[in-house]
Amino acid sequence: MLAKKNRFNLSEEKNSRLFSSSERFSTNSLLFYYRTNDSWLRVSAIAPSKLFNKASQRNKKRRLIYNLINKIAKKSTETKKQDLLKEKLDLIIVYKTSNIKEKNIEKDLNLFLEKNIKKNEIL
């Protein structure tokens, strides 16, 4: 699971404005909102109740994204000697479809990281 300091709290008013003041990136199954910050990578995963009726389903999908980001960060640290979790970025990930497999989520995350964080030479 991603450490609490790397999770983004959307209930704070300053953070909830991220939707309107950020850049967007979209794949078939996920929507990414992101902006730079002054500290480290902070991630929030949103699993809408319209897609996932039960709270346990929503929590499972959110945890899946946190675990995949943690896995990708560890892999990038080992292979490239660079720490993804030290990237100065606020990131919100929203599910667009309910029937998405873990490997497809991982592909989408890698695609986002390659296209957007590569600009900052993290990956």
23 with 33: CB under 8 angstroms? yes
Query: Residue ranges of the alpha helices (H) in 6-123?
Result: 13-16, 55-80, 102-112
pLDDT band at 123 (very low <50, low <70, confident <90, very high): very low
Q: Give, in order, the Cα–Cα distances in Å from 109 to each of 6, 42, 72, 79, 105.
A: 16, 14, 9, 17, 6
DSSP 7: B
Mean pLDDT of 89-97: 90
Question: What pTM, to 2 d.p., does this model score?
Answer: 0.82
Backbone region of residue 113 per phi and psi (left: phi > 0; alpha: psi in -120 to 50; beta: other values): alpha
Give me the domains of the chain, ranges plus CATH numbers.
Answer: 4-120 (3.30.230.10)
Q: Is the per-residue pLDDT at 44 higher than 60?
A: yes
1-30 tens-digit pLDDT: 777 767 666 655 655 666 677 788 999 999
Q: Please, which pLDDT band fits residue 118 given cuts at 50, 70 and 90?
A: low
| 47-64 core/surface letters (b: 16 or more CB in 10 A; e: else) | beeebbeeeeebeebbeb
